[in-house]
Amino acid sequence: MFTAFLIKYAEIGIKGKNRYLFEDMLVHQMKLALKKCEGQFLIHKSQGRIFVEARGEFDFEEAVEGLKKVFGISGICPVVYEEDQGFEKLCERVVAYVDQVYPDKHKTFKVHSRRARKDYPKESMEINADLGEAILNAYPEMRVDVHEPEILLNVEIREKIYIYSEIIPGPGGMPVGTGGKAMLLLSGGIDSPVAGYMIAKRGVKLDAVYFHAPPYTSERARQKVVDLARTVAEYAGPIWLHIINFTDIQLYIHEKCPHEELTIIMRRYMMRIAEHIAKDTDCLGLITGESIGQVASQTMQSLAATNEVCSLPVYRPLIGFDKQEIVEVANRIGTFETSILPYEDCCTIFVAKHPVTKPNLNVIRRHEHNLDEGIEELVRTALETKELIVAGA
Amino acid sequence: MEIYLDNSATTRVFPEVAELMRKIMCEDYGNPSSLHMKGVQAEQYLRSAKETFGRILKVNEKEIFFTSGGTESDNMALIGCARAGARRGRHLITTQIEHPAILNTMRYLESEGFRVTYLPVDAWGRISLEDLRQAMTQETILVSIMHTNNEIGSIQPIGEAAGLVKRMNPHTLFHVDAVQGFGKAKIYPKRMGIDLLSASGHKIHGPKGIGLLYIGSQVKIQPIIHGGGQQMNLRSGTDNVPGAAGFAKAAELLYAHYEDDIKRLYQCKRYFCDGARKLEGVKINGLLPGEPDGAGTAPHIVSVSVEGVRSEVLLHALEEEGIYVSAGSACAARKPQPSATLKAIGIEKPMLESTIRFSFSVYTTQEELDYTLRAMYDKIPMLRRYTRKR
Q: What is the pLDDT of residue B311?
A: 87
> How does residue B293 score in pLDDT terms, banded at 50, 70 and 90?
confident
SS3 per residue for chain B? CCEECECCCCCCCCHHHHHHHHHHHHCCCCCCCCCCHHHHHHHHHHHHHHHHHHHHHCCCHHHEEEECCHHHHHHHHHHHHHHHHCCCCCEEEEECCCCHHHHHHHHHHHHCCCEEEEECCCCCCCCCHHHHHHHCCCCEEEEEEECECCCCCEECCHHHHHHHHHHHCCCCEEEEECCCCECCECCCHHHHCCCEEEEECHHHCCCCCCEEEEECCCCCCCCCCCCCCCCCCCCCCCCCHHHHHHHHHHHHHHHHCHHHHHHHHHHHHHHHHHHHHCCCCEEEECCCCCCCCCCCECCCEEEEEECCCCHHHHHHHHHHCCEECEECCCCCCCCCCCCHHHHHCCCCHHHHCCEEEEECCCCCCHHHHHHHHHHHHHHHHHHHHCCCCC
Angle at A366 between CA A363 and CA A368, to 5 degrees: 110
* Cis peptide preceding A169, ω within 30 of 0: no
Q: B311 to chain A: nearest residue by CA?
A: A216
Q: A254 to chain B: nearest residue by CA?
A: B386
Tell me: pLDDT of B332 over 50: no
Q: B337 to chain A: nearest residue by CA?
A: A342
Percent of chain B with pLDDT over 90: 86
Chain A residues close to B313, C-beta within 8 Å: 215-216, 344, 349
The C-alpha R_g of chain B, in whole angstroms, comes to: 21
Chain B residues close to A215, C-beta within 8 Å: 313, 315-317, 319-320
pLDDT, average across residues B146-151? 96
> Do B286 and B297 contact (CB within 8 A), yes or no?
yes
> Do A334 and A241 contact (CB within 8 A), yes or no?
no
| HSE-CB for B321 with a 13 A CA cutoff | 20
> Do A22 and A74 contact (CB within 8 A), yes or no?
no
- CB atoms B336 and A342 under 8 Å: yes
Chain B residues close to A213, C-beta within 8 Å: none
Q: What is the pLDDT of residue B331?
A: 43
Active site residue B273: no
> Do A265 and A296 contact (CB within 8 A), yes or no?
no
Helices A191-200 and A323-333: crossing angle in degrees, nearest 10, is 70
> Do B126 and B156 contact (CB within 8 A), yes or no?
yes
A68, amino acid identity: K
A95, amino acid identity: V
* Domains of chain A with CATH codes: 4-169 (3.30.2130.30), 181-391 (3.40.50.620)
Q: What is the pLDDT of residue B160?
A: 97
Q: What is the pLDDT of residue A380?
A: 96
Q: B388 to chain A: nearest residue by CA?
A: A350
> How does residue B335 score in pLDDT terms, banded at 50, 70 and 90?
low
> Do A195 and A287 contact (CB within 8 A), yes or no?
yes
Q: What is the pLDDT of residue A52?
A: 94
Q: Could you report the per-residue pLDDT of A321-332, keeping only the tens digit for each? A: 999 999 999 999
Q: Where in chain B is the domain with CATH 3.40.640.10?
A: 15-255
Helices A219-236 and A323-333: crossing angle in degrees, nearest 10, is 70
Q: Could you report the per-residue pLDDT of A2-40, keeping only the tens digit for each? A: 889 999 887 777 778 888 888 899 999 999 999 988 989
Tell me: pLDDT of B44 over 80: yes
Q: Domain B3-10+258-380: give its CATH code.
A: 3.90.1150.10
Q: For residue A13, what is the DSSP state?
A: G
Q: What is the pLDDT of residue B337?
A: 64
Q: What is the pLDDT of residue B336?
A: 54
| B234 exposure class (CB count in 10 Å sphere: 0-12, 13-18, 19+) | middle
- Closest chain B C-alpha to A213 CA, distance in angstroms: 10
- Closest chain B C-alpha to A371 CA, distance in angstroms: 17
ipTM exceeding cut-off 0.85 for this assembly: no
Angle at A325 between CA A319 and CA A327, to 5 degrees: 105
Q: Cα–chain-centroid distance for residue A161?
A: 33
B386 contact A CB<8A: yes
Q: For residue A72, what is the DSSP state?
A: T
Chain A residues close to B335, C-beta within 8 Å: 342
Angle at B74 between CA B70 and CA B76, to 5 degrees: 115
Tell me: pLDDT of B390 over 50: no
CA B223/CA B233 separation, integer angstroms: 7
Tell me: pLDDT of B330 over 50: no
- Closest chain B C-alpha to A218 CA, distance in angstroms: 7
Q: Could you report the per-residue pLDDT of B155-211, keeping only the tens digit for each? A: 999 999 999 999 999 999 999 999 999 999 999 999 999 999 999 999 999 999 999
Chain A residues close to B310, C-beta within 8 Å: 344, 349
Q: Name the H helices within chain A.
A: 19-35, 60-67, 87-101, 124-138, 191-200, 219-236, 247-256, 262-280, 300-307, 323-333, 336-339, 346-349, 361-368, 375-384
> Residues with Cβ < 8 Å from B296, sequence gap 6 or more?
B155, B288
- CB atoms A218 and B316 under 8 Å: yes
- A 139-178 → B contacts, CB under 8 A: none
> Do A304 and A204 contact (CB within 8 A), yes or no?
no
CA B282/CA B276 separation, integer angstroms: 7
B337 contact A CB<8A: no
| A200 exposure class (CB count in 10 Å sphere: 0-12, 13-18, 19+) | buried
- A vs B, Cβ pairs < 8 A, gives 34
- CB atoms A216 and B316 under 8 Å: yes
CA B65/CA A183 separation, integer angstroms: 57
Task: Go through chain B and tell me how many residues it has.
Answer: 390
> Residues with Cβ < 8 Å from A65, sequence gap 6 or more?
none
In our burial notation (b when 16+ CB lie closer than 10 A, e otherwise), range B59-83 reads beeebbbbbbbbbbbbbbbbbbbbb
> Residues with Cβ < 8 Å from B78, sequence gap 6 or more?
B92, B102, B105, B106, B109, B142, B144, B175
Which of B327, B335, B357, B347 has its CA nearest to residue A215? B327
pLDDT tens, residue order, chain A (393 aa)? 888 999 988 777 777 888 888 889 999 999 999 998 898 999 988 777 899 999 989 999 999 999 999 999 999 999 998 888 989 999 999 999 999 999 999 999 999 999 888 889 899 999 999 999 999 999 999 999 999 999 999 999 988 899 999 999 999 999 999 999 999 999 989 999 999 999 999 999 999 999 998 888 888 889 999 999 999 999 999 999 999 999 999 999 989 999 899 999 999 999 999 999 999 999 999 999 999 998 888 999 999 999 999 999 999 999 999 999 999 999 999 999 998 887 655 455 677 778 888 999 999 999 999 999 999 999 999 999 999 999 987
CA B248/CA B240 separation, integer angstroms: 12
Question: pTM value?
Answer: 0.82
- Closest chain B C-alpha to A291 CA, distance in angstroms: 26
Which of A31, A377, A361, A4 has its CA nearest to residue A154? A4
CA torsion A221-A226-A228-A233 (nearest 10°) is 170
| B318 exposure class (CB count in 10 Å sphere: 0-12, 13-18, 19+) | buried
Q: For residue A298, what is the DSSP state?
A: G
- A 205-224 → B contacts, CB under 8 A: 214-219
| HSE-CB for A225 with a 13 A CA cutoff | 30
Which of A63, A86, A88 has its CA nearest to residue A76? A63
Q: Where in chain B is the domain with CATH 3.90.1150.10?
A: 3-10+258-380
Q: Could you report the per-residue pLDDT of B206-252, keeping only the tens digit for each? A: 999 999 999 999 999 999 999 999 999 999 999 999 999 999 999 99
Q: What is the pLDDT of residue A347?
A: 52
Angle at A42 between CA A39 and CA A47, to 5 degrees: 150
> Residues with Cβ < 8 Å from B41, sequence gap 6 or more?
B28, B30
> Residues with Cβ < 8 Å from B357, sequence gap 6 or more?
B6, B8, B151, B301, B302, B303, B304, B325, B326, B327, B328, B329
For chain A, the 3-state helix, strand and coil shares in percent, each to the nearest 5, are 45, 20, 35
Task: Identify the bridge partners of residue A102 per DSSP, sorted by sequence position.
Answer: none
- CB atoms B389 and A218 under 8 Å: no
pLDDT, average across residues B4-8? 97
Helix (H, G, I), strand (E, B) or coil at A86: coil
Task: Go through chain A and tell me how many residues it has.
Answer: 393
- CB atoms A344 and B388 under 8 Å: no
Q: Could you report the per-residue pLDDT of A87-139, keeping only the tens digit for each? A: 999 999 999 999 999 999 999 999 999 988 888 989 999 999 999 999 999 99
Which of A82, A43, A27, A35 has its CA nearest to residue A63? A35
A248 contact B CB<8A: no
Percent of chain B with pLDDT over 70: 96
Which of A257, A261, A277 has its CA nearest to residue A210? A277
Inter-residue long-range contacts of B331-337, CB under 8 Å, 24+ positions, other chains counted: B331/B99, B331/B100, B331/B150, B332/B100, B332/B151, B334/A342, B335/A342, B336/A342
- Closest chain B C-alpha to A109 CA, distance in angstroms: 50
Q: How many CB atoms lie within 10 A of CB B52?
A: 21
Task: Identify the bridge partners of residue A163 per DSSP, sorted by sequence position.
Answer: A80, A155
What is the rounded average pLDDT for all residues in chain B? 93
pLDDT, average across residues B319-336? 72
Q: Could you report the per-residue pLDDT of B50-69, keeping only the tens digit for each? A: 999 999 999 999 999 999 99
- CB atoms A214 and B336 under 8 Å: no
> How does residue B387 score in pLDDT terms, banded at 50, 70 and 90?
low
Given B319, B335, B388, which is nearest A215 (Cβ)? B319
Q: Are strands B64-67 and B211-215 parallel, antiparallel or unpaired?
A: antiparallel
Which of B324, B385, B389, B390 should one mutate to test binding to chain A, selecting the residue with the greatest count of A CBs within 10 A? B389
Task: Identify the bridge partners of residue B145 per DSSP, sorted by sequence position.
Answer: B176
- For the domain made up of B15-255, the CATH class stated in words is alpha beta
Given B312, B335, B386, which is nearest A218 (Cβ)? B312
- Closest chain B C-alpha to A214 CA, distance in angstroms: 7
